[in-house]
């Protein structure tokens, strides 16, 4: 099978490349990636002889269509997105362009070439947030109520994909996944940020709402879920992918410090970013019951392994330090009105 993986130089995308080529060594994979600040060729280094890399923007319809034709693509898996909620506060237009118009260009190209299968990777954050003491969880039927520019751009992208399913008969599926963790995650996200800072005895910035919680899933379990949806999922369907395991930012910080033998004094409370969601929790019974998926990684052990990976792979993340356009310690009422470059300076 010939696959096009968009965003393959990113965190989940590069892990998916490894997973898929391990499981399906006979398949041919083309990666389409704009190589933005959060992309890393080093994340694909050992795979370069097994993939074709097309550097380009998913918003470029002609480029996307040409890639689908030239590489005789049968299946597209779309990971490409601007994904950092904090950056979306500073440059929301960038998020709507890539995540909405880019997704539309992808499905339009897929329609034009009569693609066999399209899979779109989305997020739990499209549903909004939950109270910390809530007994609820989000199902695939939950109302979309995004609260931030990033969340809204991903929600809009989901609607774009569904519109092409209903109007043009595109054979597409969507997965809405909870927070992923694992190797090769850009060090602006909380676990690699905390690990990198702790390793160098730098402060770990915790938002003031330290008990806000996220549901956590190892990236390889996410890759298995996507594989199952591609192989056994029903076109037109959406599947929530969650572990059911929650942890607060405070618990994550404590786990990182404990694993690396660093003092709790490294924790630093910083102002919440605007629109900081309280809690997400997915009901993933649909994919578990219909497709037989369940997570294999224990969170406590998986988190420890992940922290050790960053400790052992400094040469991967060190070149990425300083690339992030966001300074998490600098949130203020004024910052939300500044473009990214001014906010950093």
Encode pLDDT of 236-257 as tens digits.
999 999 999 999 999 999 999 9
* DSSP 8-state class, residue 98: I
Are 244 and 308 in contact by the 8 Å Cβ rule? The answer is no
pLDDT recorded at residue 275 = 85
pLDDT recorded at residue 345 = 47
DSSP H or E run through 76: strand 75-78
**Cβ count within 10 A of residue 326:** 21
Q: What is the average pLDDT across 149-177?
A: 98
**Closest among 322, 315, 316, 344 to 202, alpha carbons compared:** 322
Asked if the model's pLDDT at residue 342 lies above 70, the reply is no
Q: What is the average pLDDT across 110-129?
A: 98
- pLDDT tens readout for residues 199-231: 999 999 999 999 999 999 999 999 999 999 999
Share of the chain above pLDDT 90, in %: 92
48 vs 23, 35, 55, CA distance in Å? 17, 15, 13
Q: Which residues of 100-133 are buried (b: 16+ CB within 10 A; e: fewer)?
A: bbbbbbbbbbbbebebebbbbbbbbbbbbbbeee
pLDDT recorded at residue 337 = 53
Q: What is the average pLDDT across 86-115?
A: 97
- pLDDT tens readout for residues 308-326: 999 999 999 999 999 999 8
Higher pLDDT, 326 or 94: 94
Q: Which domains does the chain have, with CATH numbers?
A: 2-181+218-243+280-297 (3.40.50.720)
* DSSP 8-state class, residue 337: G
pLDDT bin (cut points 50, 70, 90) of residue 331 is confident
- Average pLDDT of the residues of the chain: 95
**CA gap 260, 196 in Å, rounded:** 10
Lowest mean pLDDT among 36-40, 99-103, 270-274: 270-274
137 phi/psi in degrees, rounded to 5: -145, 160
pLDDT recorded at residue 326 = 87
pTM greater than 0.75 = yes
Lowest mean pLDDT among 70-79, 113-122, 151-160, 323-332: 323-332
- pLDDT tens readout for residues 57-90: 999 999 999 999 999 999 999 999 999 999 999 9
pLDDT bin (cut points 50, 70, 90) of residue 339 is low
Q: Cα–Cα–Cα angle for 97, 99, 100, nearest 5°?
A: 70
pLDDT recorded at residue 332 = 61
**CA gap 323, 321 in Å, rounded:** 6
pLDDT recorded at residue 62 = 98
Asked if the model's pLDDT at residue 119 lies above 70, the reply is yes
Residues comprising the chain, all counted: 345
């Amino acid at each position: 099978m010939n696959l096009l993986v968009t965003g393959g130089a990113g965190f989940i995308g590069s892990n998916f490349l490894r997973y898929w080529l391990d499981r399906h060594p006979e398949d041919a994979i083309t990666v389409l990636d704009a190589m933005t600040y959060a992309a890393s060729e080093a994340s694909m280094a050992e795979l370069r002889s097994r993939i074709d890399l097309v550097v380009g923007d998913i918003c470029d319809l002609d480029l996307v269509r040409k890639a689908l034709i030239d590489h005789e693509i049968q299946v597209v898996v779309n990971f490409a997105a601007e994904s950092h909620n904090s950056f979306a506060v500073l440059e929301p237009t960038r998020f709507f362009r890539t995540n909405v118009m880019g997704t539309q260009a992808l499905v339009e190209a897929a329609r034009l070439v009569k693609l066999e299968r399209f899979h779109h990777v989305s997020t739990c954050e499209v549903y909004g947030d939950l109270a910390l003491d809530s007994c609820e969880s989000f199902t695939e039927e939950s109302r979309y109520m995004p609260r931030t520019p990033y969340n809204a751009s991903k929600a809009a992208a989901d609607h774009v994909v569904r519109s092409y399913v209903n109007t043009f008969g595109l054979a597409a599926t969507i997965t809405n996944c909870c927070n992923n963790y694992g190797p090769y995650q850009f060090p602006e996200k909380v676990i690699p940020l905390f690990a990198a800072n702790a390793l160098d005895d730098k402060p770990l910035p915790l938002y003031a709402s330290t008990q806000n919680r996220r549901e956590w899933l190892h990236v390889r379990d996410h890759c298995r879920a996507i594989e199952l949806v591609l192989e056994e999922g029903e076109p037109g369907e959406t599947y929530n992918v969650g572990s059911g395991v929650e942890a607060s930012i405070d618990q994550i910080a404590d786990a990182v410090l404990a694993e690396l033998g660093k003092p709790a004094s490294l924790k630093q409370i910083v102002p919440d970013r605007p629109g900081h969601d309280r809690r997400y929790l997915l009901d993933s019974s649909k994919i578990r019951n219909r497709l037989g998926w369940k997570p294999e990684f224990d969170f406590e052990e998986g988190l420890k392994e992940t922290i050790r990976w960053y400790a052992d792979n400094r040469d991967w993340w060190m070149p990425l330090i300083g690339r992030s356009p966001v300074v998490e310690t600098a949130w203020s009422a004024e910052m939300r009105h500044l473009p990214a470059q001014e906010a950093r300076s």
